[in-house]
């Protein structure tokens, strides 16, 4: 039995190593020297209580001296100064527009409704949905549109390079990139016809406007708490080409500022990385955390290359996602403890139907 588990553990690590190597070799980049598009681009920002973030992203956009941008912010019943800050920018930049929500329609989640309402206001040939806590630099928007046009995509999504300042962030945030890059070669998202090879991140989703209007993705998944992944699968099922990238330094985000904040946030969608199958998630965690035990007992001569392979995995996925390699190696055991806590919390949340996000229960 122990020998059988040892072989499974070795196979698991080989699988992870293969995927991280593929992500490293076939790393996809958005070129900086791409020809800028002439069409109007709609930058669409759903925001709820984002007074600490909205000023930064609007300042980033204001630096982009591009008359082909329209910037629309949907204020989702914020109780802070979000709307007032947007109005200040709108007064000094005629590209900026504020849309305010009166109420959420029955059956909709707040962000999904916000994105849908933004799309109704947008006039561009391309819709870029970005979260308020994202930071954008240089000509990344124009270059992303050029990438989308080059590969004839209906959707281009990017996992931002994560800003990590506190120890709590360094322990928690990298684990999602670890899962993503050891489970799925992102090049498959673009070249594979199978919807199982899908990935997206709602922090940065760029759509061809014609495709968006035809498929109405946020309306189709109006009640989904993980609409980004659902939309990516939906597009592939509809034979629409998509792509998902990671490691773009001109797109950055500080998702969470503490350990507890990250644990609460990741509990919303952790199982979607595993096809929404908690059993697969716990199996992944078991072999990632305890796989060395049967190898050490049944195949002790293999334990050294087994450990080396794990270290190489940490190096490759960290390099690809532009994370600190040393921190990823040193903090890996603690990150796995964090992942287990997230999965337990996610199970509890789904059973209790009680998950508060930005002051609302997404299950109500």
pLDDT confidence of residue 363 = 61
How much is the average pLDDT of 250-277? 91
Write down the pLDDT at residue 353: 74
pTM of the predicted protein model:
0.94
Place of tokens 């124009």: 142
- Indicate whether 238 pLDDT > 80: yes
Q: Please report, to the nearest 10 degrees, the dihedral formed by the alpha carbons of residues 344, 349, 350, 354 taken in order.
A: 170
Residue 149 has pLDDT above 80, yes or no: yes
pLDDT by residue (tens digit) across 108-141?
A: 999 999 999 999 999 999 999 999 999 999 999 9
Closest CA to 310 of 294, 338, 330, 282: 330
Q: State yes or no: pLDDT of 356 exceeds 90.
A: no
Using alpha carbons, list the distances in angstroms from residue 290 to 201, 285, 301. Answer: 29, 8, 17
Among the listed residues 116, 149, 198, the one whose alpha carbon sits nearest the alpha carbon of residue 39: 149
The per-residue pLDDT for range 62-112, each reduced to its tens digit, is 999 888 999 999 999 999 999 999 999 999 999 999 999 888 999 999 999
Contact 185, 16 (CB under 8 A): no
The confidence band for 357, taking pLDDT boundaries of 50, 70 and 90, is low
Percent of the chain with pLDDT over 90: 87
Report pLDDT for 33.
75
| Region 132-158 average pLDDT | 96
Helices 82-92 + 54-62 axis angle, to 10: 10
Query: Tokens at residue 241, please?
Result: 């080409």
What is the rounded distance in angstroms from the CA atom of residue 131 to the CA atom of residue 56? 11
Percent of the chain scoring above 70 in pLDDT: 98
Mean pLDDT of the chain: 94
Q: What is the pLDDT of residue 351?
A: 82
Rounded to a whole number of angstroms, the distance between the first and last alpha carbons of the chain is 46
Domains present along the chain, CATH in parentheses: 41-163+185-254 (3.90.550.10)
Q: Is 262 exposed, middle or buried (0-12, 13-18, 19+ CB in 10 A)?
A: buried
């Amino acid at each position: 039995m122990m020998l059988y588990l040892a072989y499974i553990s070795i196979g698991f690590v080989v699988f992870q190593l293969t995927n991280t190597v593929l992500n490293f070799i076939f790393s996809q980049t958005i070129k900086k020297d791409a020809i800028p598009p002439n069409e109007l681009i709609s930058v669409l920002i759903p925001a709820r209580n984002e007074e600490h973030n909205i000023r930064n992203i609007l300042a980033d956009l204001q630096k982009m001296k591009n008359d082909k941008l329209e910037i629309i912010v949907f204020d989702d019943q914020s109780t802070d100064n979000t709307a007032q800050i947007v109005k200040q920018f709108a007064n000094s930049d005629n590209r900026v527009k504020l849309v305010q929500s009166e109420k959420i329609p029955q059956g909709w989640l707040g962000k999904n409704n916000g994105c849908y309402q933004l799309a109704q206001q947008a006039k561009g040939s391309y819709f870029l949905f970005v979260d308020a806590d994202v930071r954008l630099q240089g000509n990344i928007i124009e270059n992303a549109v050029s990438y989308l046009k080059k590969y004839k995509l209906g959707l281009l999504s990017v996992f931002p390079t994560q800003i990590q300042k506190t120890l709590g962030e360094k322990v928690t945030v990298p684990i999602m990139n670890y899962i993503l890059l050891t489970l799925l070669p992102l090049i498959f998202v673009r070249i594979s016809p199978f919807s199982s090879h899908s990935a997206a991140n709602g922090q940065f989703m760029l759509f061809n406007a014609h495709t968006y209007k035809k498929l109405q993705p946020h309306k189709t998944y109006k009640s989904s708490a993980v609409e980004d992944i659902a939309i990516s699968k939906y597009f592939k099922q509809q034979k629409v080409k998509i792509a998902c990238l990671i490691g773009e330094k001109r797109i950055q985000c500080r998702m969470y500022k503490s350990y507890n904040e990250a644990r609460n946030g990741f509990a919303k969608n952790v199982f979607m990385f595993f096809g929404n199958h908690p059993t697969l998630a716990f199996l992944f965690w078991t072999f990632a955390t305890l796989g060395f035990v049967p190898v050490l007992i049944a195949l002790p001569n293999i334990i050294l290359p087994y450990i080396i392979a794990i270290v190489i995995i940490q190096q490759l996925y960290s390099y690809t996602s532009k994370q600190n390699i040393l921190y990823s190696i040193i903090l890996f055991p603690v990150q796995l403890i964090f992942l287990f806590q997230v999965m337990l919390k996610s199970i509890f949340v789904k059973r209790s139907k009680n998950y508060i996000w930005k002051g609302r229960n997404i299950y109500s």
